[in-house]
Chains A and B, each alone.
Chain A
Amino acid sequence: MLRPLPLLTALVLAGPVLFGLIGTILPAFGYLVPGADRPMTMALTWPGLPRALTVSVTSGILSTLGALSVAALITAGWHGTRVFVWLERMLSPLLAVPHAAAALGLAFLVSPSGWILRIPANVMGWEAAPDLLILNDPWGLSLTAGLIAKEMPFLLLMMLAALTQVSAGPRLAVARSLGQGRVSAWMKAVFPDVYAQMRLPVLVVLVFGMTNVDVAVILGPTTPTTLSVQVTRWMMDPDLSARAVAAAGGLILFAATLVVLAVWLVAERLMARIGRAWVWSGRGAPERLARGCGLTLATGSAAMVLAGLAALAMWSVAARWAYPDLLPEALTLRSWSRFGPDMARTAFGTLALAGAATIISLTLVVGCLEAEHRFGLTLGQRALWLLYLPLLIPQVAFLPGLQLLPLTLGFGPSVWLVLAGHVVFVLPYVFLSLSGPFRAWDARLARIGAGLGASPNRTLWRLRLPMLTGPVLTAVAVGVAVSVGQYLATLLLGGGRVTTLVTEAVALSSGGDRRAIGVWGLGQALAALLPFAMALTVPAIVFRHRRGLHR
């Protein structure tokens, strides 16, 4: 039963990616899709390409650098302080907030008629909103800022996880005794190893920044859009031959991603050299400035996302709310009674899909980990790369193929295809979340169990998994959050007929009914947050008489 599971998991991860890539490459060069006339040439000669590609690349690189710098600064400057504990508490729920919901909130916050600029408007008595290109700016700066705010908590969490693998305490002590300040000591002695540990997540953020669709469509430029958004438009074009152009566009973006990844890896070495020179020079860092910047940027971006969510909440209960009022004229539950029932139905479907994808993923992951425990069956070091494969290959490069290939085999988009697609993205996160605690479980307990006559299965079901309730529930929560946030996979593999909270919320963003966006956006955020709340409370209740299991 267990033995084939690691191989099966590898297939589940790599299969769709390779299958999808083939399904993208063939049409891009004129095969598979009838009526497509030299799609690669069409994509390459699309007049918007230079600009779209530039914005994709710059927003990806800048957002990754930004998020990584803020995460590093805040950890370097404040790790181990009370401020840090407080900040960590504030940031971790943000991790679960879906990208689309966060972006929708930010959009209202930062636009020229948004909440922030309404403050000076009230003070100075402006009659009309200033005509400033803040949102959807052609350089993708608002997109970059939005990505930084959303990715920073993720990188911070990864950094904290990596920190447990590195003996930071003694290193800091040595560096500090050599006269280094808090920030420079951490940067010099701890950061290099921490970065090495969290390199893959950083690359995931880089690829996501370059190729995401849901954030770019809300915050990104429109004349033209980023390349990923344009690829999605081609994909959804009624003209079937445009799908071949979409495939070609996806490949161009994939190639650009590979180049950027290569450049990033070279830049890593360069940075390592510069860093080494800095270490040997013995020079410090502007401590106060660095700590101040770190704290300001981290709190600032967290506050932005939270204020954005507050804005969504406010719109969902707003009666008339005209510019430049800071608050609506009155509060009403009308929007909730209008959109609430439909939203709740969709939320139910979304959670059912997320639950199914998570259970499949969890089964595979536990099976893999248990096989590793019983038979020493592992996929080796390469397993980690395999795990990251679906996250490192841009979605727009293989999802079009994943839609086109089944189509040519005669079965169209369906909810099952969507479910399969979700598993591909949920599984890696469930694995990453559960593997640590699972492996750290004290194996001597299994031996005691065996000594008392329990079979390995009984040990797993009655001992190991119950003891790991907390981590398992956390993995489930992570899985559900990932599934709830899947925009492109749902849209493309479902052919528009499978609607979830995220597809509805993004579709509404073009319509511009903020009250509806408020209801749907909050619904999406709640759907992602609820499992996390359960993951925290359930173990506390179940284990209230088991002090040793309290974390």
Chain B
Amino acid sequence: MRFPTFLTAPLIAALAFASPAAMANPDVSDWDAVSQAAQGQTVYWYAWGGSTATNDFIAWIGDRAEQQGVRLEHVKLSDTADAVGAVLTELQAGRETGGSVDLIWINGANFASMKSVGLLFGPFAEQLPNWQYVDVDGKTVTSDFTVPTEGYESPWAMAQLVFVYDSARVPEPPKNAARLLQWAQENPGRFTYPQPPDFLGTTFLKQMLIELVPDPAVLQDPVDEDYEDVTAILWDYLDQLTPYLWRQGRAYPETGPRQLQLINDGETDIAFSFSPGEATTAIANFDLPETVRTYVLDGGTLGNASFVAIPFNSSSKEGAMVVANILLSPEAQLRAQTPGILGYGTVLDMDRIPEADRAAFEALDLGIATLSPAELGQALPEPHPSWATRLADDWVARYGVAE
């Protein structure tokens, strides 16, 4: 699973002066009118296209949308930031209607920057008919990396970092940062992480930082002057770890799926994923050995929600809302959670959905390598988006331009 990466906030701030003019926007409170207007619209959904399981799921959503008169086109991105760039470019060129992006799979820094300069249409999320099922109390669906969503994006999946290991080769996986370092020293070349600024690679940096800093609460605020002091312990840790990484840290896998493939290729033994069900799905797709299992660290792991947002200049806002609504339907949520299809956590509240759907969710066999909600435990909150940006930049300067 993959999320947007980082966007330099200063640039967006510089663009704030060009905030888009108001235009004829749909009345989101009148759903009949919205679904009427959506008929015949084509929605270009800009979403990361590096995972074939996700692509198949989006194609399935497309079939559902077709039944409601909306054509869905998946524009496969290598990085969500590309979609943000496309909207920004159009804003600069003064294209305030007929934009090319209708829906973005988004969260974190990209959402924070787009929302802050008014690049997003909304609020719309809480007016969607299926919003009634959403677990607003139990899951972090109304704030995104500490930024309140305020209806400018609609959630569709829950994610939590899990570590993936081959139980045939690693009898006892290391469950904290110190043990991980020790394990790497005993098994040189058998662990690596996706190369930051890749989202998952940066998440690894954040996860380690949360564990290593004495007081993780500082990470909830934007990056301050004390950045150097706070992160020194992380760089110290990485300096010790790097020589024992796969290829001695002279090369890194580009993305999360590539990192999983290294396990199948017998090159590494431990990886991680932001989707608790990804390992099970990968086993079903022959992408991982059947002996692979997952675990979380002793101190817990990072978790967050995936959202969809609609750019201010989309020409198919109604169609995009119809798609966002389909994503929240119990049927789609069940499919997303089914191991072998996606294995993403649902954003719905089991007590609110219809009886039959609840039974279907309960009947779901999560799969051999997926942890139960109890085993996953409480997810750790994401740090403020500015930390991810800073950490990724710093990592590139320290390790990304070798020797």
Residues of A within 8 A of B (CB): 34-35, 46-48, 51, 111-113, 127-129, 131, 133, 135-138, 221-224, 236-241, 318-324, 338-339, 342, 407-408, 410, 412, 495-497, 499, 504, 507-508, 510-516
Contacts and interface: CB of A to CB of B under 8 A. Distances in A.
A34 B76 contact: no
B89 interface: yes
Contacts of A322: 264, 266, 289
Contact of A339 (B52, B79, B261): B52
Given A129-B266, A323-B265, A239 B258 contact: no
Contacts of A507: 49-50, 76, 78
A102 B248 CA distance: 28
B257 interface: yes
B270 to A, nearest CB: 13
A240 B402 contact: no
A131 B247 contact: yes
Given A131-B188, A323-B264, A510 B78 contact: yes
A131 B253 CA distance: 14
Contacts, number: 159
A137 B248 CA distance: 12
B11 interface: yes
Contacts of B397: 47
Interface stretch (B80-88, B224-232, B380-388): B80-88
B126 interface: no
Contacts of A131: 188-189, 246-248, 267
Given A35-B14, A138-B250, A238 B266 contact: no
Contacts of A51: 401-403
A135 B400 CA distance: 17
A135 B261 CA distance: 15
Interface string B229-268: 0000000000000000011101111110111110011110
Contact of B286 (A319, A324, A339, A499): A319
22 contacts: A47-B397, A137-B250, A138-B250, A222-B252, A223-B195, A223-B251, A223-B399, A223-B401, A236-B82, A238-B82, A238-B84, A238-B85, A238-B88, A318-B286, A342-B59, A412-B89, A412-B95, A495-B100, A512-B259, A513-B52, A515-B52, A516-B52
A511 B400 contact: no
Contacts of B255: 510-512
B257 A34 contact: no
A34 B92 contact: yes
A325 to B, nearest CB: 10
A497 B246 CA distance: 35
Interface size range on B against A: 35 or more
Interface string B6-20: 011001001100000
Contacts of B286: 318-321, 515
Contacts of B93: 407-408, 410, 412
B75 A133 contact: no
B100 A412 contact: yes
Given A47-B401, A507-B49, A133 B251 contact: yes
Contacts of A48: 400-401
B267 A112 contact: yes
Top 9 nearest A-B pairs (CB, nearest first) are: A323-B266, A238-B85, A131-B189, A512-B258, A511-B50, A48-B401, A113-B265, A238-B81, A223-B402
Interface in B134-155: none
Nearest to B53: A513
B266 A237 contact: no
A260 to B, nearest CB: 22
B349 interface: no
Contacts of B331: none
B267 A113 contact: yes
A355 to B, nearest CB: 23
A499 B49 CA distance: 12
A410 B93 CA distance: 6
Interface string B143-170: 0000000000000000000000000010
A239 to B, nearest CB: 5
B115 interface: no
Nearest to B5: A238
Interface in B343-379: none
Contacts of A240: 11, 85, 88-89, 92
Interface of B: 7-8, 11, 14-15, 44, 49-52, 55-56, 59, 75-79, 81-86, 88-90, 92-95, 100, 110, 169, 188-190, 195, 246-248, 250-255, 257-261, 264-267, 285-287, 289-290, 397, 399-403
A539 to B, nearest CB: 39
B75 A496 contact: yes
Nearest to B266: A323
A324 B85 contact: no
A390 B77 CA distance: 28
Which of B8, B259, B286 has most chain A Cβ within 10 Å?
Answer: B286
A162 to B, nearest CB: 40
A508 B266 contact: no
Contacts of B88: 238, 240
Contacts of B76: 499, 504, 507
Given A133-B250, A133-B251, 19 more contacts: A236-B78, A236-B79, A237-B81, A238-B84, A239-B85, A240-B85, A323-B264, A323-B265, A338-B52, A342-B55, A410-B93, A412-B95, A504-B76, A510-B50, A510-B78, A510-B255, A511-B49, A511-B257, A512-B261
Given A34-B92, A51-B403, A222-B195, A511 B266 contact: no
Given A131-B188, A319-B286, A512-B253, A496 B86 contact: yes
Nearest to A321: B286
Contacts of A137: 250-251
A101 B81 CA distance: 27
B355 to A, nearest CB: 34
B137 to A, nearest CB: 34
Contact of B252 (A223, A324, A508, A516): A223
A129 B78 contact: no
Given A131-B246, A240-B92, A338-B56, A497 B400 contact: no
Contacts of A319: 286
A221 B254 CA distance: 11
Given A129-B265, A131-B189, A138 B401 contact: no
A412 B101 CA distance: 13
A221 B252 CA distance: 10
Contacts of B95: 412
A513 B264 CA distance: 11
A402 B152 CA distance: 35
B268 to A, nearest CB: 9
A128 B266 contact: yes
Nearest to B81: A238
A48 B254 CA distance: 17
Nearest to B195: A222
B100 to A, nearest CB: 6
Nearest to A411: B93
A511 B52 contact: yes
B257 A513 contact: yes
A320 B8 CA distance: 42
A507 B92 CA distance: 27
Given A237-B85, A238-B7, A238-B81, A224 B49 contact: no
A221 B251 contact: yes
